Structure 1
Amino acid sequence: MRVSTGVLDRPRSLAVSGGRKARRPVWPFGLVTAGFGVIAALSAVRVALPSWVRPAAHMVTCYGRLPGGLFAIVLLVVAHGLLRRRKAAYWVALVLAACGVLAAGRSLLALLLVIGGVALALRRTSFPAVPTPARVRGATVSGMTVLAVGGIYDGVFHGRLNLGSLIVLGVSVALAVLLAPAPSPKPGDDATRERVKDLVGHPSADTLAPFMLRRDKAYVFSRDGRAVLGYRVLFGVAVVGGDPVGSPGSFPDAVDQFVRLCERSGWRPAVLGMRDELAPLWHRHGLRTVGIGDEVIVDVDAFSLTGREMRNVRQAVQRTYNAGVTTTVVREDELAPELRAELAEVSAQWLNGSRERGFSMILDELLTGTHPDCVLVIAREGDHVVGFQRYAPAGPALSLDSMRRVRHGPNGLNERMIVDLVAYARVHNVRTVSLNFAAFRTLIDAGGERTRLGKLGYWAMHRLDPLIQVESLYRFNAKFRPGYLARGVAFPSWVTIPIVAAAMIGMEFTHIKKISPAGPRS
């Protein structure tokens, strides 16, 4: 079932208004350039080539095997730069095409190079990634350093300079530096985060909106300042966590500004935790989308412990009553120093030395007072804290952030805290409580209807569950008879899946300094 609440519903028209056309492909230019690079490399190592490619091989290796091999590296670096839409690669490719025409003379190869060069010249706007002055200086210094070190090496050990090879090597190193993606941006400063916090408080805020306030995120605003995206960059992939936040009418422009920033910086854009209904915002920029699971949603007004299907939750909650457990719900800024220290000790014991991890569905700075509006439900056994959960406010909703308990505490603590938090939410006019993320829920629910590929995927997930806890977390969630909100990822193309997946996994499963331990969402 999919829950429908005022917090989650959005007008679908916003997803297609003010759209931009998807970027025109540039892979033919990169493929042709890479082809010349491969030919040069094969020719340099004396591989026999078909007669129809020998003119190209001779053109790029006529100065010897070593310069030819180094020139092959240059061509491959330029090809990668063209695929990443780097302006510097565009100009280098044009110069190489012009030089190739002069070297090829009156031949079919020259004609083909002219056609390719003209086609490339007409596509100038398809290469918007311009290097910063600092990157140009770094490339220049790198190239000159290679020339100097190589010259000294040749002079000392060979007694002569192989100037052609040194120049090609220096150029290849300079190009590699010049065509690298822009470095990761610094996270938003305090003033920027205050602007973001105001947008997170928008009445239409999504249940993942509070996690925009992580201190490791950088931000891109719409031109009118009424919507914002939070992102991080890893391995040259700029990953947005969740959906835009703020006024829905400004979402398309916020996405436009983010994609333009990625184009200028040479980053691959990607999204983690996107709602299905906002997928068209990314489709119009050429990104593909695929579902990865569902956010677990509890409708506060409809939630009840009555009925046979809620028996397991009732029994778990009753066990905590039998053990004498009591709960209280407080805002984080209301915590006394002594209680804050006790909660921190419970968290440290639960983590047992592990570190913070997470990106798209968890906050940071647990118990530091950085997020004073967060709500904590605290469980005690007698005078001692035995567990707590933290929830972040998102409009008329609360989203689970962290879940902690002592390992020797009574069974049913987490169920008890969730049930009592829902009761608190009902009294305080909170309509929705967002719990954990159910990855691959449809695969688990499919049962006997799984395809062969689905059966293989489920078998692997089931076997790995002691490590990744995907299925066990889903079973825990399902006890509450929740609704589900589909979430997915967006990525540039199927070819980019390995690098995009590596970036997303790296963000979700690596710790960030000075951030609290991860909750169950990670």
Structure 2
Amino acid sequence: MPGKVQAATVAAARTVGRSVRRYPVTTVVVLLVLVTSVVGVVLRVSHGITPSHFGPLRVFAASTGLLALVATIVGVVVLLGASERLMGPWRTVTAFVVTTVVGTGLGALTAFLDPDGRPIGSLLLGRATSFDPWTAMVGTIVTASAFAGPLWRRRIRVNAFAVVAALLLYAGHVSDLYAAFAALVGWGLGTMLRSGPARIGWVRSSHRETRVLLGTVVLVSAVGPVIALVSRARVGLLAPLAAVVGAGPVTPVRGCHADGAVDTCLRGLLDYRATDPWTLLLAVAPLLVLVVGGLGLFRGSRFAVWLVVAVDLVTAIAAAVTYSAVPGRVQQLHASENLVVVDLSIAASIVVPLATALVLVVLRRSFTVLPSRRRIATFAVVVLAAAAVIVVVVLVTAASSPQRVPDPFRLVIAVLGPLSPVTFWDRLPAMDPALRFVLGVSGPLLWTVIALAAIRPTGAAPHALDTDEVGMDRARARALLEAAGGDTFGWMTTWQGNAYWFAADGRAGVAFRRNGRVAVTVGGPFGWPDARDRAMTEFARYCDDNGWTAVFYGIEATAAEHLTGQGWATLPVAEDADFDPRTWTTTGKKKQDVRTSVNKAKREGITALWSSWQDLPVATTRQIEAISEEWVSERELPEMGFTLGGIDEMRDPAVRTLVALDAAGTVLAVTSWLPTFREGRVVGWTLDVMRRTAAAPNGVMEFLVASAADRMREDGVERLSLSAAPLASSGDAPPSSDGVQNLLDLVGGVLEPVYGFRSLLRFKAKFGPDLHPLVLAYPDPVALPSIGIAVVRAYLPDLSLRQAVALVRGRG
């Protein structure tokens, strides 16, 4: 046993030694924080000396308690450790010193900015003068973000600024201001320190990343008022807004009256604090709606967007009424000594919620998940019924009160609860206790009902989005695909954004996307082979009954013969490339490039990992997300969808990923493969996502495809499809004079520099596959212009007019 303990001690010492050598700056800072904090506690207890006497070393002192010390050390290890890993020790030291000195210096200058000669810093941020270790850590990690990839660069900056802004606006301590300036300095310093050309302007993010970032911001905005309500020394610009959220009919705010306001109203809002769990519970009820909305944003819910927008608008209106709508309020507040504070607080309390709502409205197209009408109707009925019941209870209680209520209908505003203007409650102390209680709980109760009712339409709960009508259709389509199979695009029919039609006997179905009056299918019908031809005819009739034009996009030429026999026309749009992995080899002159790439990868120690997303290591999935985000950021156009998947589609448990890893476990490239079923068994895989890092060696994609073929041969898979490059063909198909062909050729040509569809065809030719033409079948040449537009919109639903012009000019 002693030998085992000694071996474990030696192993631990070696691990610590390697960490110290790898992260020297982080190690030194941890020691400084630990030493100065402990010394500060000792000196304060023995001699009454505070950290403010430490001089520059007080930036390391976390002497407010053991929890603060532990949190600071963890922050140093995580944030400075990540910074040192990204940009090295010397740049880390530079960022640590520069952001701290400049950030605190700029914060100190606020004391001289009041036009009336009074120190606005003391008015706005209190009289605290201590430094904070978090100032340096925030500035350093934001500096290091410039050295991260697009995914983590954006995440670090958005999260850092969101947290710093929430603390500054709601708590408003001097250290929060210093951290905010340090973050701004770090942003600029990182750009200066990073070698290589910096990309100027907006860097595009994927829809998934947009959802993550906005969901994070909304959740932080929900926590902000809680921070202010429980803070003992909050003086931030939005601290009064937290009181607007937290006060209401439970507790009247001193100095806020319906017939006017004095400066004590703002003072009262600043001094208001949730002093007991009951008050805090009532105060956070509206914030629960923001939490539900934020979780829904993570899941891409469009309903969550409008829910958060509605809450932000109500919050802004409540703040505006509280501060400005009552006659004489602003003038009397301006007569107080805090002129600048009043102006800034009023502006911030109204502008911040409105700005959040505006950003969500502008970026709403990134949230593509739509709830069923039944869920929306259920939400509306539940909320309206709850509001009606609460209003009736309030009015009945007011009528039954032993004291006469002068204007009982005015109490209806109580349904807004914490967001009702605080000036409506100046007569609250004189009311009957029963009425006061009903008024106190009515608003929070309604907001709680709204939060609970919004869980299903926003998809905030796990699997909530999969139980609406479209979700049930999607589950039905998956079951039919697994039992009977489909064509090249078969598994793509299960993706979000598709609508479904099923034959009356349930033996076949069609997935489609409707743009205007055109319904564009995702490939051909899926289901039992003997039912697919009849399904095409019935689906066309279904579309005609609804006034739509049915267009079968990307179906095999042989399947289209059923339609051409009924007078439909076709034109080529892509080619499916596939081969039988059971007989495929890398021999032959045509496959020389593939053979060379495989041998090179083996020499360099590159391996291929075949797995579902759920079974991949967390470190691997994070690298894949970063690679994908970098790929998206390098494109000047929005993400394409329809028959082109991404990270969200890779997360499907039925999908497989094939990852190229170097000897150190670093992800070099990744591919995803969609299953093809027959009678419940996987008989084929179709290539979907192909992403690689800039540092990946040439030939890594050829290595992955060859590795996939080897794996499928072992599993007895009958077909490996390299998929179809949309809007591209080998040129062997006969030309068409149709206008839609010209439009698709134009779009395919100008998208080539961005997405490389035609280059993808040349890549697939290296494997010697069999080519099968895929066509677009349409019933009426008169509808060709709208058909062409519908197909383009299916791939680029977020294409703006500016981007469309850039496409035509070839600058895409």
Q: The TM-score by the shorter chain falls in which range?
A: 0.5 to 0.7
Match of 2:668 in 1: 386
In 2, Cα distance between equivalents of 1:434 and 1:359: 18
Match of 1:357 in 2: 640
Rounded Cα–Cα distance in structure 1 between residues aligned with 2:582 and 2:694: 32
CA change 1:308–1:260 in 2 (3 A) is closer
Match of 1:403 among 679, 690, 695: 690
Contact 1:296 1:436 in 2 (8 A): yes
Q: Which amino acid aligns with 1:272?
A: Y
Residue 298, structure 1, aligned to residue 579, structure 2: yes
Q: Which residue of 2 aligns with 1:268?
A: 549
Would the aligned equivalents of 2:508 and 2:531 in 1 still touch at CA under 8 Å? Answer: yes
Match of 2:615 among 331, 334, 340: 334
Give secondary structure in 2 for the equivalent of 1:292. strand
Which deviations, in whole Å up to 9, do the C-alpha atoms of 1:181-210 show, x marking residues without a partner?
A: xxxxxx962222111001111344323210
Which residue number corresponds to residue 500 of structure 2? 219
- TM-aligned CA distance change 1:462 to 1:270, over 3 Å: closer
Aligned counterparts of 1:364 and 1:422: Cα–Cα separation in 2: 22
SS at match of 1:320: helix
CA change 1:459–1:214 in 2 (3 A) is closer
> Per the alignment, in what secondary structure is the counterpart of residue 228 of structure 1?
strand
**Distance of aligned partners of 1:300 and 1:199 in 2 relative to their CA distance in 1, 3 Å threshold:** same
TM-score, scaled relative to structure 1: 0.56
For the 8 Å contact 1:391–1:402, the answer to whether it is kept is yes
Query: Closer, same or farther in 2 for the Cα pair 1:275/1:459, shift >3 Å?
Result: closer
Change (3 A) 1:440 1:347: closer
Q: Secondary structure at the match of 1:490?
A: strand
Aligned to 2:110: none
1:108-507 correspondence runs (5 A):
189-283=470-564, 286-352=567-633, 354=635, 355-360=638-643, 362=645, 365-367=648-650, 369=651, 371-381=652-662, 382-395=664-677, 396-438=683-725, 440-443=728-731, 465-467=752-754, 469-507=756-794
**Structure with the bigger percentage of strand:** 1
Structure 2 residue aligned with 1:183: none
SS at the partner of 1:189? helix
Equivalent position amino acid for 2:671 in 1? Q
Q: Which has the higher contact order (CA 8 A, sep 6+)?
A: 1
Shift of 1:250: 1.8
% same residue: 25
Checking the alignment, whether the CA contact within 8 Å between 1:358 and 1:511 is kept in structure 2 is: no
Q: Take 1:336 and 1:469, find their aligned partners in 2: how far apart are those partners?
A: 30
- The answer to whether the Cα contact below 8 Å between 1:199 and 1:246 also exists between their aligned partners in 2 is yes
**Structure 1 CA distance for aligned equivalents of residues 548 and 575 of structure 2:** 27
Contact 2:507 2:527 in 1 (8 A): yes
Maintained 8 Å contact 2:484/2:526: no
- Cα distance in 1 for partners of 2:579, 2:750 equals 29
- Structure 1 CA distance, aligned partners of 2:718 and 2:675? 11
Report if aligned partners of 2:660, 2:700 keep a CA contact under 8 Å in 1.
yes
Using the alignment, how far apart are the partners of 2:568 and 2:736 within structure 1? 27
Output the CA distance in 2 between the equivalents of 1:422 and 1:406: 22
TM-aligned CA distance change 1:336 to 1:188, over 3 Å:
farther
Contact 1:323 1:410 in 2 (8 A): no
The Cα of 1:377 is off from its aligned counterpart by: 0.6
CA distance in 2, matches of 1:461, 1:193: 30
CA distance in structure 1 between the partners assigned to 2:655 and 2:532 by the alignment: 26
Q: CA deviation at 1:361?
A: 5.3
- Measured after TM superposition, the shift of residue 460 of structure 1 is 11
How far is 1:273 from its partner? 0.5
Shift of 1:284: 5.4
Measure how far apart 1:450 and its partner are.
9.5
Q: Which runs of 5+ in 1 are unaligned?
A: 1-186, 513-522
The Cα offsets for residues 453-512 of structure 1, whole Å up to 9 and x where unpaired, read as: 99xx99998897434634322211111111112110011222222110110011123359
Q: Distance in 2 between matches of 1:451 and 1:289?
A: 9
Change (3 A) 1:231 1:241: same
Change (3 A) 1:337 1:189: farther
More helix by share: 2
Unaligned runs of 5+ in 2: 1-467, 678-682, 800-812
Cα separation, 2, equivalents of 1:413 and 1:276: 33
CA 1:363–1:267 in structure 2 vs 1: closer, same or farther (change >3 Å)? farther
Secondary structure of 2:649 counterpart: coil
In structure 2, the CA distance between the partners of 1:461 and 1:431, relative to structure 1 (3 Å rule), is same
